[in-house]
Structure 1
Amino acid sequence: MKITLVRSMSRSAVFELVNDSCYRAPAPYTVTLDGAAVCSGDTNIFSLYSLEPAHTYTLAVTLDGVTDTLTFTTAEESFFVDASRYGLAADGVTDNTAKLQAALSTCPAGGTVYVPAGTYRTQSLFLQSNTTLYLEKGCTLLGGTDRRDYPILPGVLPCHSEKDEQYLALWEGNPLDSFAALINVINAENVTITGEGTLDCNAQNGDWYQNPKQKKIAWRPRLFFTSGAKNVVLHGVLACNSYSWTIHPTYSENVDILNIRIRNSSQSPNTDGIDPESCKNVNIIGNHVHVGDDCIALKSSKLFLGMKLHVPCENVIIRNCCLSRGHGGLVIGSEMSGGIKNVTVTQCLMDHTDRGLRVKTRRGRGKYAVIDGLAFRNVVMDGVLTPFVINMFYFCDPDGHTDYVQTHEPQPVDDTTPTLGKLEMEHIVATDAQYAGCWFSGLPEQPIEGVTMRDVKISFAPDARPGQAAMMCGAGASCKVGIHAENVRKIALHNVEITGYEGERLQLTHVDRYEED
């Protein structure tokens, strides 16, 4: 057993047990700090809080009688800013937006804004560079319920030269006016949000879920939003009851999302968990996500921004996460016109999501909509209806059901045609599947380049019920389908075991090369 430091901040730190288990540790363990017992745990990722800045600690973890130690030093801190001194009211009713913003805006570089226990009603807050927001245990930032109190972020900011424009707010992949998030990091760097507190949008008590696909003044906000940011850390907090997508970094670099919990009602509309969009170098580690839509979705805009900017979402690590009850565990797209590159998923647990690995794209996403370098390793899926779905006929958008998107006749390969490269899945166990084990649908004019599966076990629930494995026209309800594949250049199965399926184990159409051992 070995312990490693994931990240150390001024008053908190994140650690990881190095092993092969998915999300949960092999056994419960205890943690001591400088010889004093501080906590116990049963997950591979854990955190410590209320630490002293610029202090060196000795950490010890004992599991099954074996102890490993680690020495680490917290980051320095210039100033400690107690937000309560700005006149906050912790009654959950009084609007604290201006006072909290004053504390955030006046914090010196290198400083920490500390919010003590209590419930603070607020609307959108904006963080500045080189600062930390620390939410104490028992602290809740509670979102206001009247959308008219939230500022609107313009989708497009015109340039004075009239030769260019800046894109700020995004709604489902397009630059459209949207309400600002509860927490915003825009054109800032070296920003940390940490602590054991809660970010509660309180959306269920407003009108955010009423006709959610209709624009009302502006499009719905996020819980956490970044744009043009660098070196951003979101750690430890409980994020809940989001207005729409919960964590939405856009056009940002070096984003760490560590050991947070996301809780949205399974009935809440489009409340994805973590949706990095056109971001580079993203670490999603140790998070527990329970939402009303996709748990983690990697995106890179729709056709307009994809063709104009072609900024991919790339270099993403997802590790030791528990992804629960959502529509998909890890989802690629469907807004991915800038491309998705170099994604590694390891040691994750997917618990009763509709799908496990879900890739969704369609004609019209564009020539820069290239998905490549996806590795999916050492994952456990429990009760996932369809463990693997790759769907290039996804019927989203107003034209999603048209012949242009849905026809299975080859179309010209042009500037609107997306591309799926090679995908690797290995060391995966999926139990109690229902609709299908694997459903791979490529375009006839642009087949999926390659799917390699190694050491994969899929079993079906004895009482499985039929349902639609992939959201595409012509794919009716299915039940206990082993592997359905169409328009794939190469499928390689190495030690792939599927049990409990009905009918033919393999349903292959227009698969150029198939190999199995």
Structure 2
Amino acid sequence: MNNWFKAAAVLGLMACSTGLMAQKLPVIQQTSFKKDSTYITKFGAIADGQTLNTKAINAAIDACNKKGGGVVVVPAGLWLTGPLVLKSNVNLHLKKGAMLQFTKDFNQYQLVEGNWEGIPQMRNQSPVSATNATNIAITGFGVIDGGGEAWRQVRKEKLTESQWKKWTSQGGVVSADGNSWYPSEQWLQATKMKNAGEITPDKTPEFYKSIKDFLRPNLIVITKCKKVLLEGVTFQNSAAWCLHPLMSEDLTVRNVTVKNPWFAQNGDGIDVESCNRVLIENSSFDVGDDGLCMKSGRDEAGRKRGMPTENVIIRDCKVYHAHGGFVIGSEMSGGARNIWVDNCTFIGTDIGLRFKTTRGRGGIVENIYINDIQMIDIPGEAILFDMYYMSVDPVALAGEKRELPKVETLPVTEATPQFQNFVVKNVVCNGAAKGIFIRGIPEMHVKEVHLENMMLQADKGIDIQEASGITLKNVTILSKETNPVVDIINSDRLTFDKLTYKKDAELLFRVAGDRTKNINIQNTDASKAKEKIQYEFGASAQNVTIK
């Protein structure tokens, strides 16, 4: 039995012990291709970096598909091209030294109906796309570059002064406040509209053309496909999200490298949206937004689609710069469930494990099993559950002011999101702004989260607000700030079993709120703290048990 299946067995047993339903690991169907090879050079492709090879490469794909499938070979060389469309039974294979460079000429990308951030939107055609295809792949050893710098907005505060001068000297438009660069005036004007690209009856083709530059394409979009393989290739420099499988089944992502500049707006690594049976393994991500991200549609559109992302295995992956290492949300309105994450390393991601949503989303995220996570140098939280996601960078930039959300209780509706039934085990983090942050909403707490065997070194300790059924077992939190080590607000059924902290901490627990109750502290030496517990805002000692 290999380490993964041992871990899965442990997770399953742990899930049973904590009241969660243990799930069998999903079986992901694999692709299979004829050995027939079709070289793009036979259709007139030229590797001079100047010739546009769109027609030649698409012709090779079409010919391969028509003869029953096989391998379309991209030899070593620099191949300039426009959008490519994969067809059933075709494996697009990049040889060593092969680079597909997608043109920065926006005119080569047609406007097409697509999906962006969980809702139907008009977009520029993706550099590589497939729709309703079966048994497709992108494999090999080469590089696919999306030419993203031509498409993206850039914020001044994310560049050095010399970088900013160089960027703005290439043309484009600088905002009136001088803080952002845009590729064109129509790009800038579109930012002043709400959901400019959203497909609605009142918008005409002429309108979409007037904001075409703004409608950035994702690099790889796989829609409603079955049996998909992405293996070995480096995917980089996307205009928006890099890899976007949407409403697809039996997806395998193996040994890939995904790279975007750290300042790339919406430069996610992989966004698995409303997909079933997914395996992501032995891959690395160094991007401008979330690294490994699970989604399922946004608000009413996502609930209407009603397709959760489910039955996902993620193992042996590394995430470098990203807003989050492993992420669920915030567009999770169709739900996410039955997800296993094992043996992943996060190096400098803004947040490590990031679960985010907000009122209006709806959707249930449940049965999430996470094991063996290593993290270093996390600017934000090592582990975060947040139901007040505000669509901003997770770490505030220098001088940026943010207000706390207004806390109020609203009625529970289909638009109320839910996080429940998580097991997170064996986590080590050296360096974070905060160890653990759990923040639900008054009408729907974050529920049933089991955190076990953790060593977290952070500036601040543990912050739990509006949560129920949270267990921390054998957790060591070495926080610089110890007043308090653990902050609890309006939460119930919390268990701290063998909590370890720095000696001579100022205050071990601050317990606040008249809705806080059933706090159980056991196997924890509270004598090392100068003060054991403070009660505030209606909380009282009768709701806390220390054994």
Distance (Å, rounded) in 1 between the aligned partners of 2:285 and 2:415 = 33
Give matches, 1:403-414, under 5 Å: 406-414=405-413
Q: Cα offset for 1:83?
A: 1.0
| Overall identity of the aligned pairs, in % | 34
Equivalent position of 2:460 in the other structure: 481
Q: Does the aligned pair in 1 maintain the 2:33–2:89 contact within 8 Å?
A: no
CA RMSD of aligned residues (A): 2.2
Q: Is the alpha carbon distance of 1:185 and 1:76 closer, same or farther for their aligned partners in structure 2, counting shifts above 3 Å?
A: closer
More helix by share: 2
Distance (Å, rounded) in 1 between the aligned partners of 2:303 and 2:33 = 43
The counterpart of 1:455, out of the listed 453, 456, 460, is: 453
Structure 1 gap ranges (5+): 5-15, 21-73, 155-168, 398-404, 461-479
Matching of residue 175 in structure 1 with residue 115 in structure 2: no
Matching of residue 495 in structure 1 with residue 440 in structure 2: no
Letter in structure 2 aligned against 1:141: L
Q: Does the aligned pair in 2 maintain the 1:109–1:130 contact within 8 Å?
A: yes
Give matches, 1:282-301, under 5 Å: 282-301=278-297
Q: Cα offset for 1:153?
A: 1.8
Equivalent position of 1:421 in the other structure: 420
Q: Does the aligned pair in 2 maintain the 1:143–1:203 contact within 8 Å?
A: no
Distance (Å, rounded) in 2 between the aligned partners of 1:509 and 1:205 = 47
More strand by share: 1
Provide, for residues 180-215 of structure 1, a one-character-per-residue CA deviation record: whole Å limited to 9, x for no partner. Answer: 211111110100110001100122245665547746
Equivalent position of 2:507 in the other structure: none
Q: Does the aligned pair in 2 maintain the 1:146–1:206 contact within 8 Å?
A: no
Equivalent position of 2:81 in the other structure: 122
Provide, for residues 62-90 of structure 1, a one-character-per-residue CA deviation record: whole Å limited to 9, x for no partner. Answer: xxxxxxxxxxxx96625211111111110
Q: Is the alpha carbon distance of 1:87 and 1:289 closer, same or farther for their aligned partners in structure 2, counting shifts above 3 Å?
A: same
Q: Does the aligned pair in 2 maintain the 1:332–1:359 contact within 8 Å?
A: yes
Q: Cα offset for 1:352?
A: 0.6
Tell me how many residue pairs correspond in the alignment: 409
Give matches, 1:4-15, under 5 Å: none
Equivalent position of 1:77 in the other structure: 34
Q: Cα offset for 1:243?
A: 0.6
Matching of residue 387 in structure 1 with residue 382 in structure 2: yes
Q: Does the aligned pair in 1 maintain the 2:292–2:326 contact within 8 Å?
A: yes
Letter in structure 2 aligned against 1:389: L
TM-score (norm 1): 0.76
Distance (Å, rounded) in 2 between the aligned partners of 1:329 and 1:312 = 20
Equivalent position of 2:259 in the other structure: 263
The counterpart of 2:354, out of the listed 342, 354, 358, is: 358
Distance (Å, rounded) in 2 between the aligned partners of 1:206 and 1:378 = 38
Letter in structure 2 aligned against 1:436: K
Larger Rg: 2
Provide, for residues 432-484 of structure 1, a one-character-per-residue CA deviation record: whole Å limited to 9, x for no partner. Answer: 11x21011000100101122111011013xxxxxxxxxxxxxxxxxxx22110
Q: Does the aligned pair in 2 maintain the 1:491–1:511 contact within 8 Å?
A: no
Give matches, 1:31-430, under 5 Å: 77-107=34-64, 108-154=67-113, 169-205=114-150, 210-211=181-182, 214=191, 216-217=211-212, 219-366=215-362, 369-385=363-379, 386-396=381-391, 406-430=405-429
Q: Cα offset for 1:516?
A: 2.1
Letter in structure 2 aligned against 1:256: T
Q: Is the alpha carbon distance of 1:414 and 1:207 closer, same or farther for their aligned partners in structure 2, counting shifts above 3 Å?
A: closer
Letter in structure 2 aligned against 1:332: I
Distance (Å, rounded) in 2 between the aligned partners of 1:304 and 1:149 = 33
Q: Does the aligned pair in 1 maintain the 2:310–2:336 contact within 8 Å?
A: yes
Q: Cα offset for 1:415?
A: 2.1
Q: Is the alpha carbon distance of 1:205 and 1:362 closer, same or farther for their aligned partners in structure 2, counting shifts above 3 Å?
A: closer
Letter in structure 1 aligned against 2:411: P
Distance (Å, rounded) in 1 between the aligned partners of 2:405 and 2:33 = 56
Structure 2 gap ranges (5+): 8-30, 155-180, 197-210, 393-403, 498-547
Q: Cα offset for 1:490?
A: 1.4
Secondary structure of 1:275's match? strand
Distance (Å, rounded) in 1 between the aligned partners of 2:406 and 2:477 = 30
Provide, for residues 146-177 of structure 1, a one-character-per-residue CA deviation record: whole Å limited to 9, x for no partner. Answer: 212112221xxxxxxxxxxxxxx111111001
Q: Is the alpha carbon distance of 1:270 and 1:76 closer, same or farther for their aligned partners in structure 2, counting shifts above 3 Å?
A: closer
Provide, for residues 239-291 of structure 1, a one-character-per-residue CA deviation record: whole Å limited to 9, x for no partner. Answer: 11111100000010111111100111111111000001111111111111000
Letter in structure 2 aligned against 1:505: V
Q: Does the aligned pair in 1 maintain the 2:151–2:216 contact within 8 Å?
A: no
Provide, for residues 350-409 of structure 1, a one-character-per-residue CA deviation record: whole Å limited to 9, x for no partner. Answer: 00111001111011012xx11101111101001113101110011139xxxxxxx94312
Q: Is the alpha carbon distance of 1:407 and 1:299 closer, same or farther for their aligned partners in structure 2, counting shifts above 3 Å?
A: same
Distance (Å, rounded) in 1 between the aligned partners of 2:440 and 2:480 = 23
Secondary structure of 1:337's match? coil
Provide, for residues 18-70 of structure 1, a one-character-per-residue CA deviation record: whole Å limited to 9, x for no partner. Answer: 998xxxxxxxxxxxxxxxxxxxxxxxxxxxxxxxxxxxxxxxxxxxxxxxxxx
Q: Does the aligned pair in 2 maintain the 1:145–1:207 contact within 8 Å?
A: no
Distance (Å, rounded) in 2 between the aligned partners of 1:207 and 1:390 = 29
Q: Is the alpha carbon distance of 1:481 and 1:223 closer, same or farther for their aligned partners in structure 2, counting shifts above 3 Å?
A: same
Secondary structure of 2:471's match? strand
Distance (Å, rounded) in 1 between the aligned partners of 2:258 and 2:6 = 25
TM-score (norm 2): 0.72
